[in-house]
Amino acid sequence: MGDSSSTVGEVIDGIPLGRFHRRMLAVTGVVWATTAVEILIISFTIPIFVDIWSLSSLQAGLLGSAGLLGMIFGNSLGGWYADRFGRKTALAMSVAFFSVFTGLTSLAVGFYSAFLLRLLTGLGVGGTVAIDASFLTEHVPTGQRGRYLAYLEGFFALGNMTTVVLAWLILPGGLTGGTVAGLPAWRVFYLVAAAPLVLVVAIHYWLGESPYFLASKGRAERASERLREIAAENGTDAPLTSGAVHTNEQAESGFRRLFQPDVVRATVLTSVIWFGLNFGYYGVFIWLPDTVEAAGYVGGLYQYLFVVAVFQLCGIGAAAVLVDRIGRKTTLTAGFTLAGLSTATFTVAIPGVDVGLGIGGRIPFLAGLFATGFFVFAVFATIFAYTTELFPTEVRSTGLGFSGGVGKIAAVIGPILVGYFVEFGYLVALMPFALSLLLAGLVVAALGRETMGESLQ
């Protein structure tokens, strides 16, 4: 490899944004939106399962966490597979996997079958999340990477809104079920949610392999060819020199690499903040329909949850503006801190919660919960860019998958704790999640480093 060679990052940074990037965002974004549907669909069907299968609060919590438990393993396995065998193949396999098992969930006959099918669905969703973000990251120039990753998270908020609309249309009995064309509505709900299977075709025909991955595996000529294809689609030439394209370093891949001296700090930092974020988010939002009904401040549950999703989308928009201007670290620190404070605000405003501060009523509850959605999703819109930028190419998907998997451990614990502690009151059940978000913000502020403007390793 001579001095005339270029790194993949240098070439990617020299290709202006264009048609290719918009298509890449569209495909990965739609995939991202479907993961939101697969994750949140359980929130609307748990009350139905509790009713028809006579589930205990603990069983309901376990069922709510089953998909997240699957994501723990899916994050790590999917990321590892993508770093070893390629982003494109791994993404298509993960999407097909979760789509099939989502559809099969419509055949569940009780707690155990539903738990197993949700577990397997989560395995595919976890792999998809780890791969999709890395895939997009590796195709966007440094100056626009944070914004594009925020746009990607915007599709998750659109997925949230889609889930609410589908529940609104398909579950005519609301959280008590109902029928559609003579079939139990919840079964139809899961069948419709299997539609992402068609995206496997789009991934196969519309996406090419990542040039970062190709170069990291020693396939320099194919990586250079792929970069020329990307540039040609945007109507320009790839700024390649006469030498072979390469990544900044050729090192081993796999989980062991995550704990080597030059990478372990990133592994620990991202694992801690993903744990705090997932604990706070899933603990609150998996049980959100139940919390809203318990508060009793609104008459239309679905309309209310749709507005929450709108605020989530607004938070992502704010992050898209800030992340490439004030930096990842500052955006994350502020988002975590304000999300924690907002969660505490709506918690103490729930009827029956009295902490002696005089906070209560409809306005504090709505303002706090809307703000929680806003700031939590501002964090989500930033944390994927931050995580993928901290890890080198050979373990980028593995690192994201590992830290995301650690986070999903918290995501599993959160809903279970709510199901167990809610009988002691919403203050006991929800306040730990506010503290989790606040502590994650402190960790970023104290230990994080800024990655804005850095080329990928």
pLDDT tens for each residue of 273-302: 999 999 988 888 766 666 666 666 555 667
The confidence score (pLDDT) of residue 197 equals 94
Interval 108-151: pLDDT, tens: 999 999 999 999 999 999 999 989 988 998 999 988 888 898 89
Interval 212-251: pLDDT, tens: 889 888 888 898 899 999 999 998 887 765 444 555 455 5
Q: Which of 86, 73, 75 is nearest to 138 (CA)?
A: 86
Q: What class has domain 8-447?
A: mainly alpha
Query: In angstroms, rounded to a whole number, what is the distance separating the alpha carbons of residues 307 and 197?
Result: 28
Percent of the chain with pLDDT over 90: 41
State yes or no: pLDDT of 357 exceeds 60. no
DSSP state for residue 7 in the 8-state scheme: B
pTM comes to 0.80
- Confidence label for 1 from pLDDT (cuts 50, 70 and 90): very low
State yes or no: pLDDT of 447 exceeds 60. yes
H or E segment and range at residue 180: strand 179-180
State yes or no: pLDDT of 430 exceeds 60. yes
Q: Which of 347, 340, 234, 367 is nearest to 287 (CA)?
A: 347
Q: Which residues contact 6 (CB under 8 A, 6 or more apart)?
A: 239, 240, 241, 243, 245, 246
The confidence score (pLDDT) of residue 338 equals 96
The confidence score (pLDDT) of residue 104 equals 97
The confidence score (pLDDT) of residue 246 equals 54
- Confidence label for 2 from pLDDT (cuts 50, 70 and 90): very low
The confidence score (pLDDT) of residue 355 equals 59
State yes or no: pLDDT of 59 exceeds 80. yes
- Confidence label for 206 from pLDDT (cuts 50, 70 and 90): very high
Query: In angstroms, rounded to a whole number, what is the distance separating the alpha carbons of residues 404 and 421?
Result: 25
Supply the Cα-derived Rg of the chain in whole angstroms.
Answer: 22
